[in-house]
Amino acid sequence: MSTYILNFSPTGMLPTKQMNPHTPISTSEIIDDVLMAAELGASIAHLHARDQKTGEPTCDLNTFATLFEGIRKYNKQLILCASLSGRNISDPTLRALPLSLDGDAKPDMGSLTLSSMNFSTQPSINAPATINYLAEQMALKGISPEVEIFDSGMSNYLHCLIKKSLMPPTVYANILLGNIFGAQPSFAHMAAITSSLPGNVVSSFAGLGSYQLRSNTLALASGHGIRIGLEDNIWLDHKRTTLASNRSLLERITAIANLQELTPATPRQVREQLGLQPGQGRYGLPPIVD
């Protein structure tokens, strides 16, 4: 069988228990769902931390450390990505806090959205200086960026970061489809983005809301990886009659992939593909000493 990257996004910024009781909020719930996803074939976990009292997204170091160490206690191969989202925090130094963690709490990757953009109810602000700062911090600490792309303009900006030597030799990109202000889940939009990407990019596709299943299946049919989880979609069906769980979303998409004779790549295979070497600086070179 051919393989594909299965990237798991369990909780995100927006879902709450009120919206969907299956949403993992506590660190223990997130850890349990991530370990379950790994058993079903996930090789990457894209992780947001939640405040343990309010349930709101947080960049608190202790919460991220508890989350990452809790996963690595049972699974040290799974690739862990810390979200550095700008949807509720604009200060780049605060957004970069998870990058300062070390040991078993150190992330393998950090998310990097390549432009400001609107969602249906709020903006996500990513100024050029912020993008460059986060990329620089990841390069210094040997943490690989998980590039987030919502339209072809963002894919174009990736070329600029590569020219500045702020990207690793192989770049991993999540391409998110279905936002009303961005690219939509069609082969035409997918081709417009992928054709403008540099040649050293490995891509996975996500779909927002009811577009998740369509985006994932288009990606599998096109030879790309996928991102899936309650972060992007809380419903199992297009008519929104059945709330999803992370397990139900994962079991459905892996069954569809299996029918196409596709199997999830192992974390070890993805590490080799992306050149991820945990604990080292600047993508395998010795750490920079200030």
- Domain membership of residue 241 as a residue range: 2-274
Supply the CATH number for residue 269's domain. Answer: 3.20.20.70
pLDDT for residue 281: 42
What are the residues whose beta carbons fall under 8 Å from the beta carbon of 92, sequence distance 6 or more?
129, 130, 133, 134
What are the residues whose beta carbons fall under 8 Å from the beta carbon of 250, sequence distance 6 or more?
6, 8, 36, 37, 40, 41, 42, 228, 229
Q: Identify whether 280 is part of a domain.
A: no
Q: Identify whether 287 is part of a domain.
A: no
pLDDT for residue 278: 55
Q: Identify whether 9 is part of a domain.
A: yes
Q: Identify whether 7 is part of a domain.
A: yes
Q: Identify whether 13 is part of a domain.
A: yes
pLDDT for residue 90: 83
pLDDT for residue 192: 95
Q: Identify whether 290 is part of a domain.
A: no
Give the tens place of pLDDT for each residue, 97-152: 999 999 999 999 999 999 999 988 888 899 999 999 999 999 999 999 999 999 99
pTM exceeds 0.85:
yes
Note whether 115 and 76 are within 8 A (CB): no
CA distance 104 to 1: 33
Domain count across the chain: 1
Which single residue is written with the structure tokens 């459905």?
252
Q: Identify whether 43 is part of a domain.
A: yes
Note whether 51 and 27 are within 8 A (CB): no
β-strand pairing of 2-4 with 201-207: unpaired
Q: Identify whether 286 is part of a domain.
A: no
What residues in the chain have per-residue pLDDT under 70? Answer: 278-290
pLDDT for residue 85: 87
